[in-house]
Structure 1
Amino acid sequence: NHFFKTSLRFGLWASLIFAILSAGAGDLQTQQIIKDQPMKFAATEGIYKDTKDPAPWTVVEMINAKDHKASGQIEVPGVLSILAYHKLSGSVKGMDTINKELHAKYDKQFGKDMNYYVPPKTLFWSFRVMTGIDALIMLVALVGLIFSRKKKDTIENHKWMLVVLGLCIWVPFIGNSAGWFITEFGRYPWIVYGLFTIAQAVSPTSTVASLLFSNIVYFLLFLFLGGVMVWYCRQTLHHGPYYEEADSKQNVDPFAKEAFGK
């Protein structure tokens, strides 16, 4: 019990610290994205039209990607200016304005038929899943540390908390995947931003069958590794870290006295 509780507290402290650091790193990246990939930033916030000053932060909204419109917004006044610029003022460009700017900049090189809008629904909700999971990890880690204090060993008396901790094992993978969705969909239509488009990067030799086969192989491989991890964790938790098989024998030097019996 002491071993597992110590291990749990170590993991909770690591989760809390790195979740905070992750939020800080995300904030630094956001400042750069606003400058280098403004369309991605506008899509993560679901902004089609330029915002007012100060800019409100949209909690949820209904997005019509076909008509480039958003409705049903629930907004918190002024918060987006703080998140974007670290100050109480400042408006944010919308996707419509950015699309016009990109056409003016790249039409001679890539043509007027280019679509510079990124998939707004994917980015908007992926961003909220990613940041929401980071906040959830902070909260769960903090509550877990409170419940597992040495003076009050109460965490084992809160079965619901143990269930939450078990479920949270998978949560970072979901948050990480949401972050990758933002990265990959957010650079549309570029492979190398401003230089090389996705259409130019399509391989003429790759077939649907080869892509499907490789993805199935990777899926089965990671499914197997995940199963091994779950099995090993269950064995360790059930038997304890110092468990040895009943018929396990100590290796003896063949030239030692013990090898010849008594």
Structure 2
Amino acid sequence: MDPVMLARIQFASTTIFHFIFVPLSIGLAFLIAIMETMYVVKGNETYKKMAKFWGKLFLINFAVGVVTGILQEFQFGMNWSEYSRFVGDVFGAPLAVEALLAFFLESTFIGLWIFGWDRLSKKVHLLCIWLVSIGTLISAFWILVANSFMQRPVGFEMVNGRAEMNDFWALITNGQLLVEFPHTIFGALATGAFLVAGVSGYKLMKKLDIDFFKKSFNIAIVVAMISSILVALFGHQQAQYLVDTQPMKMAAAESLWETSEDPAPWTVIAGIDPDNQTNTFELKIPYLLSFLSYSKFSGEVVGMKELQAQYEEQYGPGDYIPPVRTTFWSFRIMVVAGSIMILLGLYGTWLTMRKKVENAGKWFMKALLFSISLPFIANTSGWIMTEIGRQPWTVFGLYQTQDSISPNVGAGSILFSLIAFSTIYAVLAAITAYLFVKVIKKGPNAEEKEDHLAADPFNKEGISSVS
């Protein structure tokens, strides 16, 4: 097989797996901080139990996320050494700041939070979890600084065929970053919120620990509703930004081969034929693409064929059209998942405001359980659209993917490591799922039961719990 394609598959698979844990850590840390804030403000012990219970899931998730994240760093030197050599002076700086500042901030205060219960004052302990939450946001910021440079390179100069940073401020005020960061963060908050809401809904449906899970649900569903709406709004801004900075990606996301008429219709579904550069059928909504692109019901959108000609004139001969089917359908999967999240969030918030959560129909609680998967689907499909739609570039307009791979790493080595990593990740996924289910099944009163057994080592059957 082609080593470039194998390296791309490996990076995509490891990144997708890692990105399961990153947004969930960000979202759970924020929700736990809110819950502990409620405990400190109200003095209600239920909120303390909530912070501890959901904190267990956060710690499991965070640990696996750290393990999978380390591998991401190694791949730049292993499979993508030419890319690292070309862009390392720019790309390495935000990654270094993320590791030295954000990760150590998270790790330090996670330790204090874990072991600080009943040892630190309430307010100091609360500060620890808020600093953990802020640390996750800072970490995401620096990672997205690096990614935004790949989407829209700024703040650099070419020296001896390599990109070298000459303007750090331009790097952290990149227009791509300003639209990508909030879109990603609110997606992460939605991820944590729907997990808490989905588990809480299931427990309420089973009539288990009603007061505990009702309070968890009320907090989570409001965060889910607000964050889902903001994800859509910032996603809309990001799409409009890409119309100017990466028009080929947006044309591919619409399977728009020819420049549209004015006003431009939005294609709901299409039969895409990349070989003949046409669509065999289309279902369109008039005017909508112009509105999505320019916030007005007028304006044409440039098609892929015209952009291909422009890029050939600017960059030289080559195929500058990304995989259209993948870009087109991943965008629509993201939109559908996000739309369902908004609807469920709005209905759940309405139930909370009307104080009818316990009386919600089973269909809604079952839908909430399913909704746990929706942010992961949206996050993954959105990432696929963002990265696949940038092809054939690793750094847009500067450096192509085919030139980025390590020259001395053969297809066999990459295939072996791909199989090995996939196997390890499958085992990690199974262990993580097992631990999540185990914690959720035990419920929020597991610690009290353990303390009771420790105080009374003989159960009602006269069997020592110690033995």
State the 4+ residue runs in structure 1 displaced beyond 6 angstroms: none
Distance 1:171 1:217 in 2: 28
Identity of matched residues, %: 34
Distance 2:393 2:427 in 1: 34
Task: Give the aligned partner of residue 39 of structure 1.
Answer: 248
Task: Give the aligned partner of residue 257 of structure 1.
Answer: none
* CA distance 1:16–1:212, change in 2 (3 Å): farther
Does the 8 A contact of 2:338 with 2:374 survive in 1? no
Among 387, 392, 403, the alignment partner of 1:189 is 392
Q: How does 1:119-138 map to 2 (within 5 A)?
A: 119-138=323-342
Equivalent residue of 2:450, what SS? coil
Distance 2:243 2:357 in 1: 47
* CA distance 1:185–1:200, change in 2 (3 Å): same
Q: What TM-score does the superposition give when structure 1 sets the normalisation length? A: 0.85
Q: How does 1:17-166 map to 2 (within 5 A)?
A: 17-107=226-316, 112=317, 114-149=318-353, 151-155=355-359, 158-166=361-369
Does the 8 A contact of 2:344 with 2:368 survive in 1? yes
Does the 8 A contact of 2:221 with 2:345 survive in 1? yes
* CA distance 1:239–1:213, change in 2 (3 Å): same
Distance 1:142 1:55 in 2: 31
Does the 8 A contact of 1:5 with 1:148 survive in 2? no
Q: How far has the Cα of 1:116 moved from its partner?
A: 0.8
Alignment of 1:245 with 2:454, yes or no, is no
Higher mean C-alpha deviation, range 80-89 or range 136-145: 136-145
Task: Give the aligned partner of residue 380 of structure 2.
Answer: 177
Alignment of 1:198 with 2:407, yes or no, is no
Distance 1:216 1:101 in 2: 40
Provide structure 1 residue ranges, at least 5 long, that are not aligned to the other structure. 251-262
Look up the equivalent residue of 1:129 and give its one-letter code. Answer: I
* CA distance 1:10–1:223, change in 2 (3 Å): farther
Does the 8 A contact of 2:330 with 2:385 survive in 1? yes
What does the per-residue CA deviation read over 1:49-87, in whole Å, with 9 as the maximum and x for residues that have no partner?
Answer: 111111111111111000100132111110111100011
Distance 2:372 2:415 in 1: 29
Distance 2:427 2:445 in 1: 26
Q: How far has the Cα of 1:153 moved from its partner?
A: 3.9
Q: How far has the Cα of 1:233 moved from its partner?
A: 3.9
What does the per-residue CA deviation read over 1:123-181, in whole Å, with 9 as the maximum and x for residues that have no partner?
Answer: 111000011111111111222233455632444x5222222111221221121111121
What does the per-residue CA deviation read over 1:212-254, in whole Å, with 9 as the maximum and x for residues that have no partner?
Answer: 344445444544444444334434443331222377425xxxx
Higher mean C-alpha deviation, range 230-239 or range 45-54: 230-239
Does the 8 A contact of 1:118 with 1:186 survive in 2? yes
Q: How far has the Cα of 1:4 moved from its partner?
A: 0.7
- Structure with higher Rg: it is 1
* CA distance 1:89–1:202, change in 2 (3 Å): same
* CA distance 1:66–1:74, change in 2 (3 Å): same
Q: How does 1:3-18 map to 2 (within 5 A)?
A: 3-18=212-227
Equivalent residue of 2:280, what SS? strand
Give the superposed CA RMSD: 2.1
Distance 1:31 1:151 in 2: 39
Higher mean C-alpha deviation, range 57-66 or range 222-231: 222-231
Does the 8 A contact of 1:43 with 1:124 survive in 2? yes
Equivalent residue of 1:191, what SS? strand
Provide structure 2 residue ranges, at least 5 long, that are not aligned to the other structure. 1-209, 456-467
Higher mean C-alpha deviation, range 201-210 or range 48-57: 201-210
Alignment of 1:234 with 2:443, yes or no, is no
Distance 1:138 1:58 in 2: 22
Look up the equivalent residue of 1:99 and give its one-letter code. Answer: Q
* CA distance 1:216–1:170, change in 2 (3 Å): farther
Q: How far has the Cα of 1:30 moved from its partner?
A: 1.3
* CA distance 1:66–1:184, change in 2 (3 Å): same
Distance 2:374 2:441 in 1: 23
Distance 2:432 2:352 in 1: 25
* CA distance 1:153–1:177, change in 2 (3 Å): closer
Equivalent residue of 1:17, what SS? helix
What does the per-residue CA deviation read over 1:184-225, in whole Å, with 9 as the maximum and x for residues that have no partner?
Answer: 211111111111111111211223344334444544454444
* CA distance 1:217–1:8, change in 2 (3 Å): farther
Equivalent residue of 2:270, what SS? strand
Q: How far has the Cα of 1:24 moved from its partner?
A: 1.7
Q: What TM-score does the superposition give when structure 2 sets the normalisation length? A: 0.49
